[in-house]
Every structure is written in C-alpha cells, then in structure tokens.
Amino acid sequence: MINHNHDEDDFMMAFQDSCDQPALLLIHGFPLSSNLWIPQIDDLSNFVRVIAPDLRGHGRSDAVSGPYSVEMLADDCADLLSSLNVSTPFVVCGLSLGGYVAFEFYRRYQEYIGGLILTATRAIPDSEEGKANRDKMADAARQQGVTAVTQAMLPKLLAPATYENDAELVEFVAEMMNDTSVAGVIGGLAAMRDRPDSTPTLAEIDVPVLVIHGDADQIVPLVEAEAMAAAIPNGKLVVIPNAGHLPNLEQPDAFNDAVIDFLESLALGE
C-alpha cells in the first residue's frame, strides 16, 4: 500500500510490483482489480518490472468517493510510478477502462513512455445512449449493490465458450467484480461516461503501440480494434483466438507471447 496524498485527496492505494527493469504498468478494466493481471505478473516478471495498481475504489485501494475521471486515474498511476522511482522510459498497458486511462496517461506523460499496449479497448467516446446506460448502471449499483453490475456484465466480459466451459475463471472474475466498492463502481462509470474522444490522439502517438484484441470480444467489436491499430502510425494488431474482453486471462499464453515479442522489439533498458 502507498499513501496517495494530494492535499485533501488522500487515500491508500494498493499495488503489485515485481521489481525488475524496465517497467511495465498494467492498468485494469472495470470493475476489476490488479488481480486481473495475475498471469502477467507470474510470467512477465522475468522480463520487466511489472507494476499493477488497483485503481481508486477497486481491489484493495481505498473506496474513495467520486466523481472519478480518466484524468484523475491517469494521475493516480503517474503518482504511483513516481513514488516507486521507476526508470524511464516505461511501457503502459491498459485493458478497456485501463486503455481509456492509458490514452490520457499518454497525453499527459508521453515523455516517459517507450511503448503502449492497448487491449480490449476503444478510442471513440460513449454515445448518448451509452452515457445513459452508465447512469442506469450506477443507479443499479447504488440501489442493489455491486452484484447487480456483476450479473449484468459478467456474461459479456468473457467469450461465450469461456463463460460456458471455464467455471473456475468465471468465479474468479465474479469475485474480482464483487470486491469492487460501490464508490469505485459509480466513480468508474462516471469516468468512462465522461472520457474524452481519443480518436484525434491516435495519429499523434509517436511510440510503438501493440493493440491486442480477442476475436470474440462482445463489448468492443474486433473491427474497432482493427480501425484503431490502423490509425496509429506505429501500431500493430494481434488478434487472440478464442478470447473475449479479457484476453489476458482467457488466453494468457498467447497474450503474454505477444507482449514479450513487443517488449523485445522495444529493446528498452539495453
């Protein structure tokens, strides 16, 4: 745990850190935690210093009340890296909400970044209908608790085959979701609802970018990831077969191989 202290905005932020170099920051999706990255912490720690925070309100970080924004979440991550004195350049990897935060992190701190990994995420903002759905989900969390969000989202988070056949993984993800605080769910929904359009950022990214996407992602269709990767000057797309919105958990070996190839191509820290 680290004390994240910004004047009155004071909370305990939890994180996992494998201590090696160069650093890989892993930003989880909604409403998950750093436990999303257990297969990466286990397998990638031989190659890089893996740092996986629990975003505010999620996992073991304090249940700070909202509103949250992607700007605030990016600053939380930057403050953590600064407290840990990580060497630069480092690589930032974000899944879904974590990808929205990674875009903002890039806009704010690009001088420290050597590469970006964007997985199961999109550059476009929420539609008006999408924003209204965020508010409905926040109301459900307020009135019925976090399990209402878990029940609505969980079948869509995994590929249909994973959901049907891998009860252990389904249970693991459900527990991670249910561990999120109501404040974290409401704050995370507001951050996603109000996130800026990252489409104009794509052409400006001047570091190598790896886009990793599951072929059975039911939340962000693969065509969006294809368009996003094509719009990034130095962007490469890896499609993971038999994976939904959580490709790093559903197909960890394929995901980790793609990340290791990318990290080797960057040759950071040599």
Interface map 61-100 toward ligand MLT (x if CB under 6 A):
-----------------------------------xx---
The answer to whether 225 and 255 are in contact (CB under 8 A) is: no
Total binding residues for ligand MLT by CB under 6 A?
7
Least gap, CB of 24 to ligand MLT (angstroms): 19
Which of 13, 16, 23, 30: binder of ligand MLT (CB under 6 A)?
Answer: 30
CA geometry: angle at 78 spanning 121 and 90, to 5°?
75
Q: How far apart are the first and last CA of the chain?
A: 30
Assess 180 for contact with ligand MLT (CB under 6 A): no
CA geometry: angle at 37 spanning 178 and 177, to 5°?
10
Least gap, CB of 95 to ligand MLT (angstroms): 7
Which of 63, 219, 222, 266: binder of ligand MLT (CB under 6 A)?
Answer: 219
Whole-angstrom distance, CA of residue 211 vs CA of residue 96: 11
Structure tokens that stand for 41 in this block: 């912490």
Which of 13, 22, 26, 29: binder of ligand MLT (CB under 6 A)?
Answer: 29
151-156's contacts with Cβ under 8 Å and 24+ in sequence apart are 153/31, 153/177, 156/218, 156/219, 156/244, 156/245
Least gap, CB of 30 to ligand MLT (angstroms): 3
Beta bridge partners of 100: none
Pick 100 or 112: Cβ nearer ligand MLT = 100
Least gap, CB of 111 to ligand MLT (angstroms): 27
Pick 29 or 115: Cβ nearer ligand MLT = 29
Beta bridge partners of 92: 25, 116
Whole-angstrom distance, CA of residue 239 vs CA of residue 253: 13
Q: Which helix (H) or strand (E) holds 8?
A: none
Pick 96 or 180: Cβ nearer ligand MLT = 96
| Closest C-alpha among 120, 155, 150, 139 to residue 193 | 139
Assess 192 for contact with ligand MLT (CB under 6 A): yes
Least gap, CB of 29 to ligand MLT (angstroms): 3
Least gap, CB of 88 to ligand MLT (angstroms): 27
Structure tokens that stand for 264 in this block: 């080797």
Where on the chain is the footprint of ligand MLT (CB under 6 A)?
29-30, 96-97, 192, 219, 245
